């Protein structure tokens, strides 16, 4: 479509003069899901029975009979020259560059009670943009921007309105919740602008905006039980198992180091005395950063920095004499170490005011 390298462009917007062979542009306005455990369990059971039926039917192909009413409908046998031409097309497709742009304005999920179908928790994902560039099998670039991600409880019961948003953006602090950038391959790494990326196979960066988490014991326990029990718990456990296996396979196949960094500002944890009381304790971190480096020998290094950590109450009185700074470094040795002493994980923690 153009001449500009998509790995060097600041923004991957359709309409730019980008050197890509194909473009997929998708836009979604809004999507609503009302999740009822019993209904989802019934749908899952129907899908499993259907898959079982399809697998049993496919196993009969070896003993079945193929009847053709019109012999001319049979696909003619490919010649060797046609096979070589097809292989060339497949090889060319693997080397092509593909641009995927996706945008969703709103995604709403209501986690309803299985007993009376009333909403227990409401999740909202808004103003999300995704851009992905694929070149062959080794070059990738991913840009993800999440405008807002909120988890709330409905306006029922005695919970104070200030505590109904369990997780979300801090009020009036930012316009986007997080941004994610991921680069894989030599060209993508060179265009990422990261530091100390020599001999690096992939690089990922996550930036979190100011956000607040409200911890009400009853709400958190109910959310954990909803997420781990029943059909949602089964699906969550299966997805987590697949993610762990994929991460293990990715780490095992790595021949170079992988670097990931996470940075955040103004993270707040609110601890109310009760869900219906105005008094609370607040823990706030001015800035936080995490740097994770996975090395080819299966070892890893983690650096964590927490700065300007303060604890206060609802009256604004600080419970610490001065803000605290904390540095944490973790060293995880490779699996090839023979002795248990060499396999130990080394953790260093230092604090200062």
69 confidence band (pLDDT: 50, 70, 90): low
* CA 290/CA 209 separation, integer angstroms: 15
Residue pLDDT, tens place only, 137-175: 778 888 899 988 889 988 877 888 888 889 888 776 667
Question: Which DSSP letter does residue 72 get?
Answer: G
For residue 180, what are the contacts with CB-CB under 8 A and spacing of at least 6? 142, 143, 144, 145, 146, 204, 205, 206, 207
* Cross-strand pairs, 307: 287
Distance CA 200, CA 182 (A): 13
By the 8 A CB rule, do 87 and 95 touch?
Answer: no
H or E segment and range at residue 165? strand 165-169
Q: What is the DSSP letter of 276?
A: T
Q: What are phi and psi of 232, to 5 degrees?
A: -65, -40
pTM of the model: 0.72
Q: Contact, 223 vs 121, CB < 8 A?
A: yes
User: What is the share, in percent, of the chain residues with pLDDT greater than 90?
Assistant: 14
Banded pLDDT at 90 (limits 50, 70, 90): very low
Q: Could you give the C-alpha distances from 275 to 166, 212, 227, 292, 312, in angstroms and in order? A: 11, 16, 21, 37, 18
Q: Which residue has the tokens 């053709």?
A: 68
The residue that leads in pLDDT, 278 or 255, is 278
Tell me the per-residue pLDDT of 226-240, one tens digit each, with 9 for 90 and over.
777 766 666 667 776
**So what's the pLDDT on residue 173?**
64
């Amino acid at each position: 479509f153009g001449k500009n390298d998509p790995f060097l462009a600041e923004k991957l917007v359709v309409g730019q003069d980008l050197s890509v062979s194909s473009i997929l542009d998708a836009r979604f306005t809004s999507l609503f899901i009302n999740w009822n455990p019993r209904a989802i369990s019934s749908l899952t059971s129907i899908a499993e029975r259907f898959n079982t039926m399809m697998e049993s039917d496919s196993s009969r192909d070896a003993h079945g009979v193929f009847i053709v009413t019109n012999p001319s409908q049979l696909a003619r046998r490919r010649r060797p020259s046609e096979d070589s031409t097809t292989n060339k097309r497949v090889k060319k497709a693997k080397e092509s560059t593909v641009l995927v742009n996706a945008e969703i304005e709103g995604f709403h999920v209501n986690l309803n009670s299985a007993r009376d179908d009333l909403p227990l928790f409401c999740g909202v994902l808004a103003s999300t943009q995704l851009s992905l560039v694929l070149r062959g099998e080794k070059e990738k670039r991913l840009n993800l921007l999440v405008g807002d991600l909120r988890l709330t409880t409905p306006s029922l019961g005695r919970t104070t309105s200030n505590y109904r948003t369990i997780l979300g953006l801090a009020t009036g602090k930012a316009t986007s919740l997080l941004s994610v950038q991921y680069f894989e391959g030599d060209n993508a790494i060179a265009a990422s602008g990261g530091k100390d990326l020599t001999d690096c196979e992939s690089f990922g960066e996550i930036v979190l905006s100011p956000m607040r988490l409200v911890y009400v014991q009853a709400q958190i326990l109910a959310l954990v039980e909803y997420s781990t029990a029943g059909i949602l718990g089964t699906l969550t456990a299966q997805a987590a198992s697949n993610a762990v296996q994929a991460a293990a396979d990715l780490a095992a196949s790595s021949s170079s180091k992988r670097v990931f960094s996470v940075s955040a500002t103004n993270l707040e944890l609110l601890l109310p005395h009760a869900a219906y009381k105005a008094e609370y304790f607040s823990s706030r971190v001015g800035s936080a950063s995490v740097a994770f480096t996975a090395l080819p020998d299966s070892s890893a290094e983690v650096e964590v920095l927490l700065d300007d950590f303060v604890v206060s109450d609802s009256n604004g009185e600080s419970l610490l004499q001065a803000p605290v700074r904390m540095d944490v470094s973790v060293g995880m040795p490779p699996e090839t170490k023979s002795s248990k002493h060499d396999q130990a994980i080394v953790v260093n923690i230092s604090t200062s005011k």
